[in-house]
Homo-oligomer: A and B are copies of this chain.
Amino acid sequence: MNIVCIGSGNVATHLAIALKAIGADIVQVWSHDSKNAEILAALTKAEPIGNWDDLDRTADCYLIAVKDDAIASVAAHLTDVKGVVVHTSGATPMSVLSGVKNGSGVIYPLQTFSKSKAVDMTAIPLCIEADRESTLEKIKVIAQLLSPNVSVITSVQRSILHLAAVFACNFSNHLYQLSNELLEQYNLNFDLLKPLILETAEKVQSATPAEAQTGPARRNDQETIKKHLDLLNGSPELQKIYETLSNSIKKTYL
């Protein structure tokens, strides 16, 4: 299996290293950032390239992991390559690759990646999609090498998954941030909340979120809710978030 990796950011790095580890040949790493291309190429024993004229057009798979708004322009250079062309974005329709002649699709890893933190790829759900049945089979083979957790989904389902991930993860992280700011105002260390944050995420690994829900809004404890809104008197924005989410919880359990 010969793979060209397009991009050298977090997703590109984790996928390319994982593919290399399971025996794939990363033949080239393309990046507009030559320094990053060199780093990832060195890690995967690939050739770093920055010029499309140098592209090896005979690889089995072209894995695009660049910023969402760069996928279309990158794909324009891959219309007539031999192998399948896949992107890895949650929010980008597969149709952005419609100019590709020999098969295209998506491998969407449902995980958040940081270069500095190792990730167990085998624990990551991979959601795949392709423009034709034969391409889907090829993509499935690659995905299943990386993770036992592969699901075939549609573009609409992928956009919903991406949206759900924004709610469950981006927004949750922002709530951690808001609680951190509250604690700082009162000379309290965010460390105090860390075990509770972890346990909250661990609980829904086995229980449903509905079963795990606790707190004043869940109990419809108006007295505590009023106390909390009073404590937030100087922060109309936090009051708005508190009320919006509390009302949504109350509505769920009416």
Contacts and interface: CB of A to CB of B under 8 A. Distances in A.
A42 interface: no
Interface string A196-221: 11111111110111101111111001
Contacts of A157: 186-188
A156 B186 contact: yes
Contact of A214 (B170, B191, B194, B195): B170
Contact of A173 (B110, B169, B179, B204): B204
B245 A192 contact: no
Contacts of A186: 156-157, 160
A164 B165 CA distance: 22
A96 interface: no
A71 to B, nearest CB: 13
B168 A179 contact: yes
A33 interface: no
Interface in A63-86: 68-69
B196 A168 contact: yes
Interface stretch (A22-30, A119-127, A131-139): A119-127
Interface residues of A, number: 89
A237 to B, nearest CB: 6
A214 B67 CA distance: 13
Interface in A196-254: 196-205, 207-210, 212-218, 221, 223-224, 227-228, 231-232, 237-238, 240-242, 244-245, 248-249, 251-252
B231 A110 contact: no
A168 B173 CA distance: 8
Contacts of A223: 69
Given A164-B183, A240-B244, A111 B196 contact: yes
B248 A178 contact: yes
18 contacts: A110-B192, A125-B192, A125-B195, A157-B187, A160-B182, A164-B180, A165-B193, A166-B215, A167-B175, A167-B179, A167-B242, A168-B200, A169-B200, A172-B197, A190-B208, A197-B201, A198-B202, A201-B202
Q: Which 7 A/B pairs are nearest by Cβ-Cβ distance?
A: A170-B215, A201-B201, A177-B209, A164-B179, A176-B209, A168-B179, A172-B172
